[in-house]
Structure 1
Amino acid sequence: MRERARAVRAREPARAVADRERRWDLRLIAPAAVIWAGTATAVTVPDAVGWALVAAAVAGIAVLVVALVASGSPSPVRTRRRASLLAGAALLLLAGAALGTGRMAHDTQRAGPIGAAIVAGRAVTADLVVSEEPHPLRPDAGTPRDAQLLVRGTITAATAAGARFSASTPVLVVGDDRWRTVRPGQTVRVAGRLAATAPGAREAAFLRASAPPRVLVAPGPGEDLAATIRWQLRERSAARSPDAGQLVPGLVLGDRTPLGEELRTVMRTASLTHLTAVSGTNCTIVLGCVLGLGVLLRLPRWSLVPGALAALAAFVLVVGPDPSVLRAAVMGAVGVVAVISGRGRTPVAMLCTAVGVLLLVDPYLATALGFALSVVATAALVGLCGPIGGAVTALLPAGPAARVPVPVIRLIAAPLAAQLACAPLLLLVQPGVSTWGVVANALVAPLVPVVTVAGSTAVLLGSAWAPLAALPLQVAASGADAIAAVARTAAAAPAATLPWPDGPAGAALLAVASALATGVLLWAARRRARGPRATGPPARSPHPVRPAPARRRVDEALRPPPGRTPRILRPIPSGGRAGARLLVRTAVVTSGLGLVAAGTAAFTTAVPAAGEWQLAVCDVGQGDGLVLRAGEGTAMLVDSGPPGPAMARCLDRLGVRRLAAVVLTHQHDDHYGGLAEAVRGRVPQRVLVSAADATLAPPVAALLGRTATPVDRLQAPAHGSVGAVSWSVLWPLSPRPVGDENDNSVVLRVDIAAAGGPPLRVLLTGDLEEDAAAALLRAPGTSAALRGVDVIKLAHHGARNGGTALLDAVRAPLALVSVGRDNEYGHPAAAVLDHARGIGATVWRTDQRGGATVRRTADRVVATALPP
């Protein structure tokens, strides 16, 4: 039987064999996707939910195994059924392994006393193994900004509350300039206070250093050599030109430390930021150079793989064994296989295998945007580069004079495929779409390997004798200057950035647009390659039929030379069935890339399920709009933002159908303007306003007159409850107005209960200014009311006149800033934000991160992005 099957397979045409093998390799996409979804879920969901999912996967495997055993004796139908059951059991097994691995990685970081110290925000003295060089904090990094440097490391031992314990917890240390001298591989002792990070973050906590580091263990010889090499490359490239000093370290070693803000901005606008980070391209170039050198030296084939792996290990050692570098190394190896094989099936299989293995080894890659970009870009180069290259060739004008060399087609197809695939993900971190990104990437593509190879050569030669590095370093510097010139030109070009809706909704819309653009391009190329449709029966001719000019150009341009490995670029099939298959494949690939974008967005900006969130701050622009969950579909609204539909859309997004109460902290348009649309279809049962407001604003009075909603006036010490929400009034103290309208704002202490967890304690401050805040703090009973607050809404949108006294009195771990993007008032004030971060608070700004939902778990306060 086996001999007959082998004989049948031997008689199959080569195309049929290739198609069967390709279909088999594509089946690896499902296991990779299951592992990705499992690990992403495991590191983001609460503990109980994560282990419940693991148990569900195990139960599903048991059910499938029982069904498999009970399937009876073999038959054609039962054989297919058994195969389906085995496939389902395998996928469930992978899901269970991914979930279990993710939960173990999550729990291991927070196991023991270190977890309790993080939850309590305690001060600790810790032994820290530094894993990355310090780098300056960026204003949009989402981390405390008053310090100058951010250092990644792992706590191996710590002392808290007089007890000494061991740990293995990665943290982000926020320190001052005295931390600039630490190096990877060092073990330092640090004193500071812990604060929990957001769910899904690789590091379990922030550690704000209150003292300089004290070195306990020096780095090993390997780490010391790598640090010296990086320092030498920075100094030598900076001596060539300012642009080279900023770009060469990033292009060669992924070192972004010297990159200035001006060049960083133009590189981002020109969609060239990926060049300054270690990516699969860097590793591909290193591996390609080693393999090419081995071929030129006629080394035996068995020696090429160990040599390439050794070179890659040395490169990782110099750059640093960061997870992003390890990811890039694996993706670089996949890229080399793609180039060498010249076929799509092997890279697809290896890409899926690499994704699965990397996620099982490091589950936190599942929620990393850099990992998603790397996978999507590699998949685009493997699956889309060939069809797009063939389409571009088919659409070019006919004639020998218009013939474009294949390398030029590659320069166009590769960045176009990567741009179409990665644009939805990039939109999550930067506004707008780069219109000149494809052109800029095509122009710099020949320069990148020159800079990388020349810079790497300079590193190797300079390590032996500095003068030997002069020539290759000059070549690298010249290439870096040219790349900087291209970036500045693209950034200054007309319409350099196309406005586009941001957030997950914008990313999904852009994914659809990219898929449609790809489909239209391939459809147009297929029609051009087929030539004009004949209107009558074909004329008989004694001469052989010649293909259409467009089709002939495709064949001639992309036909591989005899004896050579086939090129990656594929021509556009002209037959109806072949063209349909191509369009189907393209639709599958682009849909898959869109799903990856949507999945990553879901895991990075997902809204907690109904019942999990307790508080929501809505992105209403320049104004306030907060929602307190009182029950299923029921909420208490505090302010409604400026005029417009933003507040109503936020309530719809949260599933709020009934408003048990509405609080208008004071009578300013940016706090009541959106009320009319917010209450449409959900008339509130009562409206609460400040007792110091003698009259209501005319729009509010007119609206409440139409709805006949009762109005109550609040002053301390009034209190009440609405479902799960209990509130007490801290300000105003009397109905007599104090100062201007802002100082009459209602200040509420709110406790929001949740089933199975502790209440979330919130302080809502309206637009209270500094003098009124001081009077509030002097009032009897205020200090007791402010004790134990988890969340504070910064007064007056974080303005300077809101002061910092309430922040110091509350010291809440989370500070919310409801503020509009690029507002004319300059809100929020940097000094206020710096002060909040300085006392250990995590700051959430709606102008930078959009709205958020907040909930309290047993051990921490969790803020999650709320999609628009």
Structure 2
Amino acid sequence: MLGLAVAAWAGAGAGRWQGWWSVGGALVLAAVLGLALRRRSGSGLGAALAGVLVLAAVGGVTVLRLEQVRRGPVAALAVERAAVRVEGVVVSDPREVQGRFGSTVVCRLEVRSLTGRAQTFATRTTVLVVGDTAWLEAPLGSRVRTTGRLGPADDDVAGVLASRGPPEAVAGPDPWWRAASAVRASVRAAVAHRPADQAALVPALVDGDDAGLDEQLAADFRTTGLTHLLAVSGTNLTLVVGFLLLLARTCGVRGRWLYVVGALGIVGFVLLARTEPSVLRAAVMGAVGLVGLGVDGRRRGPRALGVAVVVLLLVQPGLAVQPGFALSALATGGIVLLAPVWRDALARWLPRVAAEAVAVPAAAQLACTPVVAALSGQVSLVAVAANLAVAPAVAPATVLGLGGGLVGLVWAPAGRLLGTLAGWCVAWIVAVATRAADLPGAAVGWGSGALALAVLTLLVAAVAVAGPVLLRHPVTGVGCCLLLGLVVAVRPPQPGWPPRGWVMVACDVGQGDALVLAADGGAGVVVDAGPDPVALDRCLDRLGVRTVPLAVLTHFHADHVDGFAALFEGRAVGAVETTSLQDPPEAVQAVSEIAAAHGVTPTVAPYAVPQQVGDLRLTVLWPPPGAPETGPGDGSTANDASVVLLAEVRGVRLLLTGDVEPHGQAALARTWPDLRVDVLKVPHHGSRYQDEPWLLGLGARVALVSVGADNDYGHPAAEALGPLVAAGTRVLRTDTGGDLAVVVDGTSLATVTVGGL
């Protein structure tokens, strides 16, 4: 069954990327295998035939689903960017998203009727709606009408609908959706009086509602391997249904009626957590995990996992390309394949309960490690210990939070009392996450390149094989735990990092900019702070930067300033300089408040005035005097007001360009016509909107691109990087190379990447 699961996964991928050709090829191969099987029977041929048939079936379902989405009237009108009027049912909770240019609300709408280009169509196709905050009043399950303009979509939806104005209500949600929404609202109300992190985390534990969760806390959860607590998982379902069954037994329910209670509990939980593919996947994988740890789990668990993957991909083939599905399947695979072996090895010298408590999270985390590294570029070393530490609080927090929501519907004060108890449990989880994330070796930057992931996969396989042997004896088992604790408490050195003679490092901070220029005596000039203070803090720690004589913020967009507070984490900051355009105002205020709290007042970067910081000579080339100090809130205007900085050190010239747009680049070409540099920080994360003659005219030998993996902006664009590569420029990207260092050795210029170590 595990082989069939792999075949189903391959079929979903082949159907998505190769279409009917893959299905036809699989059917031809199946026919050949069938004829061979008739002439000579054999279990190997039979298994191969079954795998090919499953591949063809899942591939066919995938192609049919995609054809339904991409070739229908909605997709055709989306390609034409037609103005339409639609009526449909809201099939996901409207969610407010903070973008670069303000807040918008997104949700999914199952279109039932659509009018566009003087034609009306009856359909059942899903579109992604992007609208204003009025859409927050359109509850899940309600039927609405709206108008807007369709656009193409990259996801498994027929198009993106930019809605004009508020939706018009046609009919309210069905009773079960109203009941589920009432319970979700009651859960939030039961903890509304608690501190913000508790008020956000309790609903996330109960039903996956993580709205309002602080980004810094979410980053700590990612670092410590606790992210699964912020989303609906099999654990949630097991805890909730288990609590209901225990309550039913207490009330005297016995026999088959317990199955009825369990079934009702599953249905109720799925409605509460929403009937999205991720919820259904979590419920199925949770059940498989229980089978794997039950009686005869070593035999039944892998079979159950294989069946689950095949069925899920037949029902929802789009799951095959979702990271959550891969993580869930791998974690479950680790539980059913590795955990029993590890548990039995530990049970030789530990109580069985303790052995299982250690083996389950360790096996799940190990199986997921390569995919987590591919997504985040790092490997968590505290995940197992953190999961063990929070385990005693997860169940009571979940059950008490749900109880607070249910009781609060009847009597609000009692609901708040249970919510308070849930908040106390959650406080422990928050403390573990924040404390563990602050440990020096909480996570190791690994990189997400092919070579790095291949090496990591081999290491994971080696640990999986050697684990039971080492854990079977108390001396080696305890020794491994002590060694891991030492690595976590003392940051493990990265060989060759920072490289000798480095003059600049582009920190891997995700989708944003954070650059460090080397100054004298362990000091560093920081240009932009990225979107993630944790990532910037770790980059500076790895470089040994303890003093920041100057910090320059090229402009005030979140991906350049949200990590600003990290500069003051155990470091002395001398001065902060910014662009003259004070936009957006809320970001300007946040930067000013953080700087003022540490006795620093931001000033405008002086135009064309050379500044000397140790060996560094810095000159601002843009924006010129007279540039506006306020803007219309247009993101392009703020980008074009980015500080463009020329740095000269040890005979190397580096141009740091922020997010300056083609208009600003053309103006720079006119103002500084003879500008030549050795290293270029490519503007705007490698956006396709560039002044190509100016970029090529700089003559850069090295170009660095600060960009996040799998970002939603399409950065970097081949149109931007292709001409640079063709001109002989070496292009490096943080999403594939991790931290990027420019090194000067005598008169030679070199580059080093963390991902390449």
What are the equivalent positions in structure 2 for 1:160-309 lying under 5 Å apart?
160-198=116-154, 201-293=155-247, 299-309=253-263
Offset from partner CA, 1:242-297 (integer Å, 9 cap, x none): 22201000000110112122221222222211101100111111233344445556
Structure 1 contact 147–175 (Cα < 8 Å) conserved: no
Aligned partner (choices 459, 480, 485) of residue 405 of structure 2: 459
What are the equivalent positions in structure 2 for 1:4-403 lying under 5 Å apart?
28-43=1-16, 45=17, 49-69=18-38, 71=39, 78-80=40-42, 83-137=43-97, 146-198=102-154, 201-293=155-247, 299-341=253-295, 343-392=297-346
Aligned partner (choices 684, 688, 694) of residue 798 of structure 1: 684
Identity across aligned pairs (percent)? 32
Return the index of the structure with the highest Cα Rg.
1
Letter of the structure 2 residue corresponding to residue 821 of structure 1: S
Alignment of 1:481 onto 2:427: yes
Give the C-alpha shift of residue 406 in structure 1. 3.1
What are the equivalent positions in structure 2 for 1:691-840 lying under 5 Å apart?
768-770=662-664, 772=666, 797-798=683-684, 820-821=705-706
CA change 1:212–1:470 in 2 (3 A) is closer
Partners in 2 of 1:771 and 1:425 — Cα distance? 39
- In structure 1, runs of 5+ residues without a counterpart are 1-27, 72-77, 395-402, 532-549, 554-618, 624-739, 743-764, 777-794, 808-817, 824-836, 854-864
Alignment of 1:510 onto 2:456: yes
Partners in 1 of 2:721 and 2:312 — Cα distance? 32
Corresponding residue for residue 543 of structure 1: none
CA change 1:136–1:260 in 2 (3 A) is farther
Give the C-alpha shift of residue 37 in structure 1. 1.2
Structure 1 contact 434–496 (Cα < 8 Å) conserved: yes
Partners in 1 of 2:285 and 2:722 — Cα distance? 34
Structure 2 contact 372–378 (Cα < 8 Å) conserved: no
Letter of the structure 1 residue corresponding to residue 221 of structure 2: M
Give the C-alpha shift of residue 448 in structure 1. 0.7
Letter of the structure 2 residue corresponding to residue 33 of structure 1: V
Corresponding residue for residue 750 of structure 1: none
CA change 1:519–1:458 in 2 (3 A) is same
More displaced, 54-63 or 247-256? Answer: 54-63
Letter of the structure 1 residue corresponding to residue 663 of structure 2: E
Letter of the structure 2 residue corresponding to residue 165 of structure 1: F
Corresponding residue for residue 384 of structure 2: 438
Structure 2 contact 400–421 (Cα < 8 Å) conserved: yes
Offset from partner CA, 1:97-140 (integer Å, 9 cap, x none): 1111111111112233212112233332222321111223366x
Partners in 2 of 1:166 and 1:406 — Cα distance? 59
Corresponding residue for residue 450 of structure 1: 396
Corresponding residue for residue 846 of structure 1: 716
Matched position secondary structure for 1:384: helix
Partners in 2 of 1:622 and 1:335 — Cα distance? 42
Matched position secondary structure for 1:427: helix
CA change 1:350–1:292 in 2 (3 A) is farther
Matched position secondary structure for 1:166: strand
Give the C-alpha shift of residue 429 in structure 1. 2.5
Structure 1 contact 287–333 (Cα < 8 Å) conserved: no
Structure 2 contact 191–416 (Cα < 8 Å) conserved: no
Give the C-alpha shift of residue 803 in structure 1. 13
CA change 1:805–1:67 in 2 (3 A) is closer
Give the C-alpha shift of residue 206 in structure 1. 2.3
Partners in 1 of 2:48 and 2:438 — Cα distance? 53
RMSD: 3.9
CA change 1:234–1:342 in 2 (3 A) is farther
CA change 1:493–1:33 in 2 (3 A) is same
CA change 1:796–1:92 in 2 (3 A) is closer
Give the C-alpha shift of residue 236 in structure 1. 1.9
Corresponding residue for residue 649 of structure 1: none
Partners in 1 of 2:369 and 2:442 — Cα distance? 15
Corresponding residue for residue 670 of structure 1: none
CA change 1:63–1:261 in 2 (3 A) is same
Runs of 4+ aligned structure 1 residues displaced above 6 Å come to 773-776, 802-807, 850-853, 865-868
Matched position secondary structure for 1:445: helix
CA change 1:119–1:420 in 2 (3 A) is same
Structure 1 contact 287–311 (Cα < 8 Å) conserved: yes
Offset from partner CA, 1:586-630 (integer Å, 9 cap, x none): xxxxxxxxxxxxxxxxxxxxxxxxxxxxxxxxx9x999xxxxxxx
How many residues are paired up? Answer: 531
Structure 2 contact 293–340 (Cα < 8 Å) conserved: no
Matched position secondary structure for 2:173: coil
What are the equivalent positions in structure 2 for 1:848-863 lying under 5 Å apart?
none
Structure 1 contact 819–846 (Cα < 8 Å) conserved: no
Structure 2 contact 688–717 (Cα < 8 Å) conserved: no
Matched position secondary structure for 2:212: coil
Name the TM-score, length of structure 1 as normaliser. Answer: 0.56
Partners in 2 of 1:50 and 1:851 — Cα distance? 30
Matched position secondary structure for 1:495: coil
- In structure 2, runs of 5+ residues without a counterpart are 479-510, 516-643, 647-658, 671-680, 693-702, 724-734, 738-754
Partners in 1 of 2:688 and 2:288 — Cα distance? 55
Corresponding residue for residue 608 of structure 2: none
